[in-house]
């Protein structure tokens, strides 16, 4: 069984950029060549099917604000928000992803504003944006705490942040950590058990192949469980974090009016309980919070000094 050495943050960041350059988000979800008009339209059509009342409320919250998305991917949210008249800026660490986002909005005939940058050191001044969003990105960043502080820094007083992390108190986490991980360990240790792979889903075979070729660890199994990952150089996600609501509140200490909701529930066997379970143990944990107004913050500081 291959052994693993923990890479440095710099090495991990380079690996993350190589991964997203090689596998831009969603491009493997449709049967079209990445970067073609057909690919963008098919991806966007599938994404639009997920629009619900909560997303429409989010759109309403964006109106009249300058919006920054940290980790814009190929521009699905960028297109949706720009189509609806939102003043939008997107940032991503992957050069190829940004090229695709630019092309996506060009095909759609929309204004585009994209920037290459690191979430832990955003290239914007303090108090710039009325709303900062990052959906499924900051938990992949070595230095997640720094990235969260940066999101708060560039948000305007009275503005808001909307962040989605993988939920550690989720059905997905429990299934992978307590069922899939031990099963992969057993199959690595006892080759005859690998016959079970034929009966399992394709995702299990991909996860097993990564661990067999590139090393087994709890962190790796959890990381590759959520994103497109298969064996080979730059073909599996190198880092993913899982967080609780309490931890997210701590990461965004100083914010107020926290709201949380959970979504996404794959491989759940009891369909009649799906809605109930998803609201409590969904894999995606999304937080919205408000940055205090400057006057309110000054008042709070004055009160603290006089205690």
* CATH code, domain with 40: 3.40.50.150
The Cα–Cα gap between 75 and 234 comes to: 22
Please give the Cα distance from 294 to 156 (Å, whole number): 9
CA 138 to CA 151: how far, in whole Å?
10
What is the longest distance spanned by two Cα atoms in the chain?
70
One domain, residues 69 and 139: yes
How confident is the model at residue 9, as a pLDDT?
78
Structure tokens at 255: 């914010």
Residues 85, 117 within the same domain: yes
CA dihedral 243, 70, 27, 110 (to 10 degrees): 150
Residue that is written with structure tokens 């809605």 in the block: 275
Q: Is residue 22 part of a domain?
A: yes
Write phi, then psi, for 166 (nearest 5 degrees).
Answer: -70, 140
Contact (CB, 8 A) for 272 and 195: no
In a domain, 306, yes or no: no
Q: Which residue has the tokens 């938990």?
A: 139
- Boundaries of domain holding 179: 171-224
Torsion region of 178: left, alpha or beta (phi above 0 gives left; psi -120 to 50 gives alpha): alpha
Question: Could you give the number of structural domains in the chain?
Answer: 2
Is residue 140 domain-shared with residue 177, that is, in the same domain? Answer: no
Query: Which residues neighbour 259 within 8 Å (Cβ) at sequence distance 6 or greater?
Result: 287, 288, 289
pLDDT under 70 in the chain at which residues?
A: 1-7, 295-307
Q: Please give the Cα distance from 34 to 73 (Å, whole number).
A: 13
Strand, coil or helix: 68 = strand
Does residue 307 form part of some domain?
no
Residue 35 placed within a domain: yes
Note the pLDDT of residue 8.
Answer: 72
Distances 65 to 61, 100, 155, 261 between C-alpha atoms, Å: 8, 25, 11, 23
Question: Considering the domain boundaries, does residue 189 fall inside one?
Answer: yes
Q: Is residue 229 a part of any domain in this protein?
A: no
User: Does residue 3 lie in a domain region?
Assistant: no
104: phi > 0 → left, psi -120 to 50 → alpha, else beta; which? alpha
pLDDT of the residue at 294: 77
- What pLDDT, on the 0 to 100 scale, is given for residue 7? 66
146 with 86, same domain: the answer is yes
Task: Flag whether 233 is in a domain.
Answer: no
pLDDT of residue 91: 98
């Amino acid at each position: 069984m291959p052994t693993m050495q923990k890479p440095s943050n710099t090495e991990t960041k380079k690996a993350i950029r190589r991964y997203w350059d090689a596998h831009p988000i969603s491009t493997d979800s449709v049967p079209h060549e990445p970067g073609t008009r057909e690919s963008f339209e098919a991806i966007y059509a599938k994404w639009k099917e997920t629009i619900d009342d909560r997303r429409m409320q989010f759109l309403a919250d964006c109106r009249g604000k300058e919006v920054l998305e940290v980790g814009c991917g190929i521009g699905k949210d960028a297109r949706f928000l720009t189509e609806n008249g939102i003043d939008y800026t997107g940032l991503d660490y992957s050069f190829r992803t940004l090229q695709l986002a630019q092309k996506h909005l060009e095909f759609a005939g929309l204004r585009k504003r994209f920037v290459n940058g690191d979430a832990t050191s955003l290239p914007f001044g303090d108090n710039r944006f009325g709303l900062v969003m990052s959906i499924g990105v900051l938990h992949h960043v070595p230095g997640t705490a720094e990235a969260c502080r940066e999101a708060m820094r560039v948000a305007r007083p009275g503005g808001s942040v909307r962040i989605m992390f993988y939920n550690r108190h989720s059905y997905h986490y429990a299934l992978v950590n307590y069922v899939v991980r031990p099963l992969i360990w057993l199959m690595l240790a006892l080759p005859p058990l690998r016959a079970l792979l034929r009966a399992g889903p394709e995702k299990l075979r991909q996860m097993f192949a990564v661990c067999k070729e590139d090393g087994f660890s709890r962190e790796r199994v959890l990381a590759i469980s959520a994103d497109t990952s298969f064996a080979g150089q730059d073909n599996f996600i190198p880092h993913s974090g899982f967080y609780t609501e309490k931890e997210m509140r701590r990461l965004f200490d100083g914010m107020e009016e926290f709201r949380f909701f959970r979504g996404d529930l794959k491989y759940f066997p009891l369909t009649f309980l799906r809605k109930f379970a998803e609201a409590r143990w969904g894999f995606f944990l999304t937080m919205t919070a408000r940055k205090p107004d400057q006057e309110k913050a000054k008042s709070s500081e004055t009160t603290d000094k006089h205690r």
